[in-house]
């Protein structure tokens, strides 16, 4: 029995070498990458549309970047957001599955400088549709949210996210 640990080590060390090999495809080119990305984007777009088909009361507008937004509670304010404004928002961020990832009820309202802060590009785009006091829902496709790697915490890789957001304040420069 004194050879048992050695046998286990040998069994685990010897694996299928083909499974561990990286295969280089000399025919892979930029066009192939573009086609793969287009197919992924179309699949994600279908996923978002399927989600919206189950939320028929969400009357979303889609922008050229794929951001979908809906302002569901308009304030009386005409104070609009522009680049370089410091904005403060309440928010809830969830996945299409309904799982809540972050909320300002726990994490406190967040402030950021529009088009200058290191946050989701879709949030920079969407916030400019709001005035102080407005409440909105944004659906950010993964490329406008956390992209290929997610946020390495609660948002998985390649995940569209839903923002339920209220614009609390704007400070113009």
For the record, the structure tokens of 55 come out as: 């939320």
For the record, the structure tokens of 155 come out as: 């948002």
For the record, the structure tokens of 167 come out as: 């614009």
Tens of pLDDT, residues 69-88: 999 999 999 999 999 999 99
For 80-149, the DSSP string reads B--TT-EEEEEEEEEETTS-EEEEHHHH--EEEETTTSSS-HHHHHHHTT-BTT-EEEEEE-GGGTTGGG
Domain boundaries, the chain: 62-173
Look at residue 13 and give its three-state secondary structure. Answer: helix
CATH architecture, domain defined by 62-173: Roll (3.10)
Average pLDDT by stretches of 10, the chain with 173 residues: 43 49 68 86 95 97 97 96 97 97 92 95 97 98 93 94 98 95
């Amino acid at each position: 029995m004194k050879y048992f640990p050695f046998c286990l080590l040998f069994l685990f060390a010897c694996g299928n070498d083909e499974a561990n090999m990286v295969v280089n495809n000399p025919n892979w080119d930029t066009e192939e990458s573009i086609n793969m990305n287009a197919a992924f984007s179309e699949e994600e777009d279908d996923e978002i549309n399927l989600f919206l088909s189950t939320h028929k009361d969400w009357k979303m507008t889609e922008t050229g970047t794929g951001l979908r937004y809906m302002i569901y509670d308009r304030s009386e304010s005409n104070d609009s957001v522009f680049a370089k404004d410091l904005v403060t928002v309440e928010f809830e961020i969830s996945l299409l599955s309904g799982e809540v990832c972050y909320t300002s009820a726990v994490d406190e309202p967040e402030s950021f400088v529009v088009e200058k802060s290191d946050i989701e590009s879709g949030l920079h785009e969407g916030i400019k549709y709001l005035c102080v006091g407005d409440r909105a829902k944004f659906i950010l496709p993964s490329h406008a949210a956390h992209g290929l790697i997610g946020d390495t915490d609660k948002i998985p890789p390649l995940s569209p996210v839903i923002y339920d957001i209220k614009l609390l304040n704007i400070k113009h420069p």
